[in-house]
Structure 1
């Protein structure tokens, strides 16, 4: 049988090149702002940059050129770090976008080939079928029961039937195929398509902020307002003492700089974008950033059976003919069973892509009879529909002979066949025998219809029930291990499938699935009230003979139970449920474009084990982001209070830190939170914990208080060394140096201690994170230069400390942080006692 039986040759390679040269590529190109320019504009609005510019201007006005130049250099460094992080995030997102672009099928040189969407050219013969997204405008040249959902253009959600004989025989880029198949000659691509012409308005639609992003932005805004208030107070106090406007303004700016947590938004953006990039490297394409934060919260995963739990490698295992009354292997078929296999093949797509249909075409070829496929053309098609579902194809040859073939759920074919009570019992017994061993079954029927006025629905035909074909789809080798990982992580697993209860239960038993004793069908589920379903959905783990409405009710019932729902799907009918789930998961290989569009992430290899990795990554990202922000809060507190307390209390050296010192500390903190913590590996107990409730506030009081206490402890250490220095008769330069060393050392050990709020520092030292030693090494090296290189020492107004004094300051910085190890030890002991 030829690969292309539509008698369409398509373009040649030379014609493709000529068309591309004339009309360009199939991409939508609108006016875009330069990413770098946008990032620079955004930087110019950053409060920290504004404060640095103001402080630098004041230094210039005061004649302190060195400090002014240093602050300008700091602006450059802060800008470079921010632009680097922005570029890194943007590149990750752009690669994700490129990676998730769909492919399409075209006929070229007489063969059907898969190409990238952007490679479609004007004149191409584009082949579109149920579940695919249309990638260019074109005119229909061949179709079977073809309908399109054009809601993206018209706003109407119902499907529109089209064929080449109708006035409206055009299809448009961005719409989706609801039913059937069509071959289309491409007339417009890229910006010349109907979608392209209205694309500028679509581009202006802005993505909504996620709940976590809103929480973080609100927190940052509050700190900025607090900083502005304190700035005014400190400016007033300084001016009251000195009556020097510029000097008092400079000292107030110092405090304002110490309060601004500009690292937090940068850390959030970097963590989410790089997290999505890491997931893509693992074979999981995240389409929406909010999915990254939701992954760690998943409490239920609803999974399909075929192709997700099983291999989706269907082999024809048995045949049951109602006339022969026996269940046999393919190699033992008689004439009745051969006819059954022939009709089963005709009920399949002419160019099969479903594994069962591929197996039926292969079985037909193995019958060693004359191949009639080239002689027949499909003249009408009824797509898969009904509850339970079935599908029907009508073929005709030049002699006028017709074949009306149907296949689907055995009970669906039985409902449209004239069967005796005895025959129904025989079919039921055969189905029970076959499915109890885990085989998937299809009923096959044949009809006779002489007129051309085909009924509106396939169920109106009177079929003859021929028998059953049974397929074996073995479970995936790793699926039992995958299920155990989900169970260990506190995640419920539910099978939601269109297959029957017996086959599903048999497969579930083979893989150690929990909850095989109860199941419910889609029809029975729809009879339940919302309240009844809400209770049942938590008790039952196997849902069979499901259809779109039933799947959607399951998702909504689970959500009503405050579950965070992930759902896998691949077909057109999975679209509504995938969209409704918190985490819609489409299959990258066997998934339709509609499923991929509705989903929030795509498993490229159709491997559910990647969801275990994705959940782990989601938990890791959330935990590490929390660590980073807790670190930022903890380390800002001592900087703020070390500037504020000596001034307010009128200590001997009221302005111990200047803008130069504060900005240096800020430059150290930025890379720590956004580079070190982002690179932290997952903690070993993370996947043994229950999912966090989705509605949980990112900043809960217990964690916030922990960070505040850590910050106050470091403050106590810094102020203790301040008073110690004064008591030893040290001048301001020596006191400043001692305080600065305490803050630097505390910063280093806070990084190490806060790598885990449960495991000890000795455990976390074994975690693989090469950036720890790099960033700490750079921090120590620069600090040493400031202390021992005379020019730098003088510029920062530091004193020359003795080795003993450095040891004292280092010891205080260490003690100010390391005490938290006792808290962690207490938690581990308490946990063991439980």
Structure 2
């Protein structure tokens, strides 16, 4: 019971020095002993289970039944040739293997994303503070805690300062629990909610800071004991996948009705029962786009993996769809639009405004630098960029922060709060204590009564305040971020509640965080894509506008609004005026939520960036919440839909572009599948309606479904951007999947493919001396039928392969988009053609598929007919583009 032990006893038991932490060697040894710090993952489905899952479909059951009936019928008629049944079962199993492969690939892609989003933890190892993957923690590790971080394991606190932890995941109590490292509880059984010197896995630091030692990891933690409640739910389908599943069911019903009609007509025309049954069932399986869900899943998974390589980790597949509809990006300034490399450039005290490169150190400047470094949690290499810049300022002037920390040790503190906009510490000095406070000037002036002048403390005057404000404005106009510092000498140790009273202001510093070089081009690209970019920042209005002007976000002060001005507006006024503003300055997290909700109420699809604990509500409120991967807290990352691993605005624009591309590619793949399926129905339905023999056998239809449908569809799903997607308006979130004549293209393509197949069949019969009026008399198995069926079989396969190239763009011709740009699609064409040629020329396959080799003249006819759907669709696009140019 770690809570009943003293701090010294705990660290002695765990064999660690809190000042240096564990060594790398010790961590490796303990990792071998205790294992990774993770809960037992959800049991994965075996490949066998995945395989049988693919067979768990009513239509597959029917197809297997058809194969069995074929065997029974053949045996009944005294035949021992079961080729049709074997091929049917072979295709069923190959389809199942493809499904397993797709699910496996999708699962691996999701696992890769989960690894990327695994939480990080600040620890002290080898005497250095480093950030590590939480799963590598071991008992004895020294963990540093601050607001916004999830607790990575079960910990015993060894230091705490105003520390509060929200433990509802374990206790059900929504109010954060106050923690105190110095507490030592009795050895009696103490409820988790009352263990005030402990912190537990998956709970959340909401306030303050602390240090703790890891006492339990993985399944040995309190959360590990109830690990079942943490098991992830099964992945839900995205709205797009749900719509496609509904579409598939609707088309399936239509296809089954058509198949029933075909079966009935065939029986009335005297065709064999088994033949028509197998043909109808195989047509149903070919006609119903059962591969839609699998293809969409793998395209989404591979697309999100591709996005992760471009520094955008998409946590939810639904975000990929929504990205294509975003029309407003609300972006933070610091680190996202700027480099997040703060550098102090100017210092102001009662001695005047001085540039850092020629700074003259008097008592005021010395005291200012000391205050900024004692009220500071950073080092030269780790911490908040603003605080790091203050440490660098000290070092530049031969003042070491580590020396200050030893000389004036911190006794207490009041962490930064977004409402107060300041941070304070209480440090011990020779003759008592001193409070050091840093924060926004307007915030400090509220609690300031004196000023430091000529090394003396005197009451502050209105003239002093005006001079301070003028200096701050001068620096803000130069796009500098202004920070003020104050102190307060005291004989007694003040509490956190009273330390920020009667402060003595020392001066100001101005620091700059220059814009990222590539961001301006990205903002222009967003504007071309009809996406508006808004800057939302806690910085001063002048600073924000200066950066906004540089980046072409805003031009005049009229386009800016402050948080205080928003407070004075009614909801109706904000709705009416919000689109007049491009920069929202001096805003709080509550303002962010209000801005997002107002924009959404007006019908906009909003992306919002954030990195802090208090940004979580606005990230959740936005259609796409975007967290910063470097500076972002665990809370913001958990609330977001997407994480930027480089904290760069350009990555958001790239992600939106990728989202649009993925959606367009899925749409192309679906239209292709529907065209192919409809073409098969057209060819068979017309032939049965006219009383002709069905031109395609069940085995041939299944082969087409396996090869010339699946491979090109996946290739289209992996297409590059060819539609200038970032010059188009964002897609309406409620837009029909068949918008922009997509349904019309599917119908036209299907009719053309079906008619080309029928014409090939008719020409093949004509070549064998069968007249038009005699077509209905031709029986399956006759040489004339085999020849004509072979031609129809090849045309159906080739026309689908060629037609896929025409679907790469709905507006541009293939020559405009580039014939060889999609190498995967070319590979699909090559594989499809080679396999088709092999089928009709290798004797074994001749017998299995009841086909025969074709001569050169037949090949000419086949290729011409196969190209017709492609050529007609290209001509339609060409004529439409010419017409649009003349309008």
> What is the TM-score with the length of structure 1 in the denominator?
0.94
The equivalent of 2:217 in structure 1 is: 189
> 1:168 matched to which residue of 2?
196
In the alignment, does 2:116 pair up with 1:105?
Answer: no
For the 8 Å contact 1:263–1:670, the answer to whether it is kept is no
Counterparts in 2 of 1:111 and 1:355: CA distance versus 1, 3 Å:
same
Residues 256-265 or 792-801, more deviating = 792-801
Q: Secondary structure of 1:677's match?
A: helix
2:832 and 2:701 map into 1 onto residues whose CA distance is 15
Separation in structure 2 between the aligned mates of residue 762 and residue 208 of structure 1, nearest angstrom? 40
The match for 1:392 among 424, 430, 444 is 424
1:279 aligns with 2:319: no
Who is 1:3 aligned against? none
Q: Tell me how far 1:245 sits from its aligned partner.
A: 4.8
Among 389, 396, 414, the alignment partner of 1:382 is 414
- Answering whether residue 72 of structure 2 is matched by residue 61 of structure 1, we say yes
3-state SS in 1 of match to 2:741 = helix
- Please name the residue that 1:355 is paired with: 385
Number of residues of Structure 1 aligned to a counterpart in Structure 2: 824
2:640 aligned residue (599, 604, 607): 599
Structure 1 position 741 matched with structure 2 position 772? no
Q: How far is the alpha carbon of 1:22 from its aligned partner?
A: 3.4
Of the three residues 55, 66, 89, the one matched with 2:106 is: 89
2:180 equivalent to 1:134: no
**Is 1:332 the equivalent of 2:357?**
no
5, 16, 22: which is aligned to 2:27? 16
1:694 aligns with 2:733: yes
- Paired residues of 1:125 and 1:185 also in contact (CA < 8 A): yes
State the shift of 1:308 in Å: 1.2
Deviation string, structure 1 residues 17-46 (Cα, Å, up to 9, x no partner): 443343222011145033424421321213
Q: For the Cα contact (< 8 Å) 2:154–2:214, is it kept in 1?
A: yes
Equivalent pair of 2:51/2:97 in contact (CA under 8 Å)? no
Give the Cα–Cα distance (whole angstroms) in 2 for the partners of residues 708 and 325 of structure 1: 77
Rounded Cα–Cα distance in structure 1 between residues aligned with 2:548 and 2:285 = 60
Q: 1:491–1:691: 8 Å Cα contact kept in structure 2?
A: yes
The offset of 1:589, in angstroms, is: 1.6
Alpha-carbon distance in structure 2 between the residues aligned to 1:734 and 1:243: 20
Name 1:531's counterpart in structure 2: 572
- Closer, same or farther in 2 for the Cα pair 1:765/1:672, shift >3 Å? farther
SS in 2 for 1:402: strand
Is 1:434 matched with 2:472?
A: no
| Deviations 1:681-714 (CA, angstroms, capped at 9, x unpaired) | 1015211111111221223372112211221122
**Preserved CA contact (<8 Å) 2:673 2:713:** no
Task: Report the Cα distance in structure 2 between the residues aligned to 1:297 and 1:684, rounded to whole angstroms.
Answer: 16
1:675 alignment partner in structure 2? 714
Match of residue 369, structure 2, among 317, 326, 341:
341
Q: Is the 8 A contact 2:695 2:758 kept in 1?
A: no
Say whether the 8 Å CA contact 1:55–1:659 is kept in structure 2: no
CA contact (8 A) 2:163 2:180 kept: yes
Residues 51-82 of structure 1: per-residue CA shift (max 9 Å, x gap): 44223212222333112222222223222222
Deviates more, 1:499-508 or 1:152-161: 152-161
Change (3 A) 1:553 1:710: same
Label 1:786 to 1:9 Cα distance change in 2 as closer, same or farther (>3 A).
closer
Matches within 5 A, 1:614-629: 614-629=655-670
What is the aligned partner in structure 2 of residue 416 from structure 1? 447
Counterpart for residue 873 of structure 2: 820
SS of 1:819's equivalent? helix
Distance in 2 between residues matched to 1:260 and 1:823, nearest whole Å: 27
| Equivalent residues of 1:338, 1:367 under 8 A apart | no
Determine the C-alpha separation between the residues in 2 that align with 1:76 and 1:386: 60
Q: Separation in 2 of the partners of 1:7 and 1:202?
A: 31
Q: Deviations over 1:309-362 (max 9, x none)?
A: 1111111111111x3344453622322122122112222226561122112223
- For 1:280 and 1:795, the matched residues in 2 are separated by 46
Q: Contact 1:660 / 1:796 at 8 angstroms: preserved in 2?
A: yes
Q: Distance in 2 between matches of 1:205 and 1:385?
A: 36
CA contact (8 A) 2:435 2:499 kept: no
Question: Hey, what's the Cα distance between the residues in 2 that align with 1:382 and 1:145?
Answer: 7
Alignment match, 2:654: 613
Q: 1:806 & 1:243 partners in 2: Cα distance?
A: 30
Match of 1:787 among 837, 840, 843: 840
1:36 aligns with 2:47: yes
Give ranges in structure 2 of 5+ residues lacking alignment. Answer: 1-16, 75-80, 184-194, 450-459, 771-783
2:683–2:755 CA contact under 8 A, matched in 1: no
Residue pairs, 1:237-252, within 5 angstroms = 237-242=265-270, 245-252=273-280
Give the whole-Å Cα distance in 2 for the aligned partners of 1:154 and 1:688: 52
Going from structure 1 to structure 2, the CA distance change for 1:209 and 1:528 (only over 3 Å counts) comes to: farther
* C-alpha distance 723-299 of structure 1, shift in aligned 2 (>3 A): same
Larger mean Cα displacement after TM superposition, 12-21 or 588-597 = 12-21
Q: For the residues of structure 1 that align with 2:837 and 2:418, how far apart are their CA atoms?
A: 76
1:766–1:333 distance in 2 versus 1, CA, 3 Å = farther
- Contact kept, 8 Å, 2:679 with 2:749, in 1: the verdict is no
1:681–1:767 CA contact under 8 A, matched in 2: no
Alpha-carbon contact 2:263-2:280 (below 8 Å) kept:
yes
Q: How far has the Cα of 1:724 moved from its partner?
A: 4.3
8 Å contact kept, 2:102–2:298 = yes
Contact 1:515 1:542 in 2 (8 A): no
Query: What secondary structure does 1:168 align onto?
Result: coil
Give the counterpart of 2:539 among 468, 483, 499: 499
- Quote how far apart the aligned CAs of 1:769 are: 1.9
Superposed CA RMSD: 2.3
Report matched runs for 1:491-570 at 5 Å. 491-517=531-557, 518-570=559-611
> Contact 2:672/2:713 (CA < 8 Å) preserved in 1?
no
Match of 1:118 among 121, 135, 141: 135
43-52 or 753-762, which deviates more: 43-52
Given that residues 619 and 626 in structure 2 are in contact (C-alpha distance below 8 angstroms), is that contact kept between their aligned partners in structure 1?
A: yes
8 Å Cα contact 1:722-1:739 kept in structure 2: yes
Deviates further, 347-356 or 412-421: 347-356
* C-alpha distance in 2 between matches for 1:688 and 1:767: 23
Question: Which stretch of structure 1 is more off in the superposition, 434-443 or 48-57?
Answer: 48-57
Following TM superposition, by how much is the alpha carbon of 1:633 offset from its aligned partner in structure 2, in angstroms? 0.6
Cα distance 1:590–1:386, how it changes in 2: closer, same or farther (>3 A)? closer
Deviates more, 1:34-43 or 1:532-541: 34-43
C-alpha displacement at 1:295, in angstroms? Answer: 1.6
CA shift digits 1:196-250 (9 cap, x unpaired): 2222123153344322121111111212233333344444444445496544422
1:490 aligns with 2:495: no
Q: 1:630–1:201: structure 2 CA closer, same or farther, 3 Å change rule? A: same
- CA distance in structure 2 between the partners assigned to 1:612 and 1:579 by the alignment: 20
Deviations 1:640-669 (A, max 9, x none): 122222223322x1x222210111101123
Distance 1:515 1:84 in 2: 53
Residues 89-113 of structure 1: CA deviation (Å, up to 9, x unaligned): 1111111111221221222343323
Q: Which residue pairs with 2:821 in the alignment?
A: 768
Moved more, 794-803 or 101-110: 794-803
CA contact (8 A) 2:531 2:730 kept: yes
Report the Cα distance in structure 1 between the residues aligned to 2:388 and 2:511, rounded to whole angstroms.
12
Q: Distance in 2 between matches of 1:120 and 1:585?
A: 28
Q: Which moved more, 1:794-803 or 1:173-182?
A: 794-803
